[in-house]
Amino acid sequence: MTERIVVLGSNGQIGTELVTALRRSYGENNVVACDIRRPDYDIKNAGPFEFVNVLEKDTLNTIFKKYKPTQVYLLAALLSATGEQNPKLAWDLNMNGLLNILDLALVYKTAKVYWPSSIAVFGPGSPKEHTPQFCVMDPNTVYGISKLAGERWCEYYHQKYGLDVRSIRYPGIISWKAAPGGGTTDYAIHIFHEALKKQSYSSFLSADTELPMMYMDDAVRGTIELMDAESSKLNIRSSYNFAGVSFTPEVLAAEIKKHIPDFKLSYTEHDPRQNIANGWPKSIDDSYAVNDWAWKPKFDLATMTADMLENLKNTK
C-alpha cells in the first residue's frame, strides 16, 4: 500500500528537514507539507503544500478528507521560551491542536500518528543525571505542562481507541539549515552562527548549564525509525526518552575553538531562559528506545561541531 503522509507544522526547525527526508523515502507527491505560512524553503515547489491552522478543525477535516493520510506528523507548537511570553496561546495550540488530530485520525482511520514531546516534561523534582523514562515529572513551563498532558492524551487514545500514536521526547535540536524556533536550547545554534560571523558569542545560559542535545540528522533519522518500527515492539505510548549528547556552553565553546582559535565566549546574566534550563535534565536514559527500536545516535560533539561549521561556511 502506498503511504500518504501529512506533516503539520512543516515550516518549523524539524519539519523542514523531516519533509525532505520523508519525500526522499516515499516520493515527493506522497508527502503533504502543511503550515500557516508559506515555506521559506523549497518544500512548496518540491511537492504538495497546504495552508493549515491546526486549531481550525474544519480546515483539518478538509485535508484529511482530501488526502486520506496513512501517517500524520503533528509538529506545530509554541516552544518553551516563546510559550512563556503567551502561555494561554501556547496551551491552546499545543493541546487543542493535538486533540484535533487525534480525533480526526480516528474518524479517517489513519494508521499512525506522530507527535513530538520534549525534555521540558521534566522539572525541578526530576532526576538530573541519566533521567529515566519513568520518574517524577513536574514541568514548570506551559510548554512542558502541555507536553506532559499531551503524552497522557496520546497514551489514552492508544489504550482506549487503539490508535497507533508514537512520540519522542526531543532534547535540544541543533541544525544548520533552519532557524531556531524559540527554545531554551537555541544558544547551541546561535553560537555557531556568531562564531563564524564575529568570532564571539554571549550565551544566555551559564557556563556550567549542561543540557541534552542532538544533531538534526540524528533527530530526523530517529523519528522515521520509530515510525517504521513494528507496532508490537513498542512498549511506550506516551513518549520515548531520546538521547544524543550532553554538554555545557563552556564545553561547546572549547570544541568550536578547535576550528576557530580566536573564538571567545561571554555570558549574559539574568536571562529568564536560565530558570527554565535549571529545571531540565543534564543527561537522558533512553534505554527503552534502544531496546524497542534499536535507537543509536551517529553524531557526537566533535562530529556535530565539525559538520555544523562546514555546512554553515558553505552557505555564507
Grid cell at residue 8:
503539520
* Coil/strand/helix, residue 189: helix
What is the longest distance spanned by two Cα atoms in the chain? 58
Interacting residues of 68 by C-beta distance below 8 A, sequence separation 6+: 4, 108
Q: Is there a catalytic annotation at residue 143?
A: yes
Question: What distance lies between CA 247 and its chain's CA centroid?
Answer: 18
Residue labelled with grid coordinates 516515499:
26
Residue pointed to by grid coordinates 502561555: 87
| Contact by Cβ (8 Å): 284, 133 | no
In the set 26, 67, 73, 143, the catalytic residue is 143
- 130: alpha, beta or left? (left if phi > 0; alpha if psi -120 to 50): left
- Is there a contact between 272 and 81 (Cβ–Cβ < 8 Å)? yes
Q: Determine contact, residues 50/68, Cβ cutoff 8 Å.
A: no
Residue closest to 281 by CA, chosen among 170, 166, 115, 188: 170
Query: Which active-site residues does the annotation give?
Result: 143
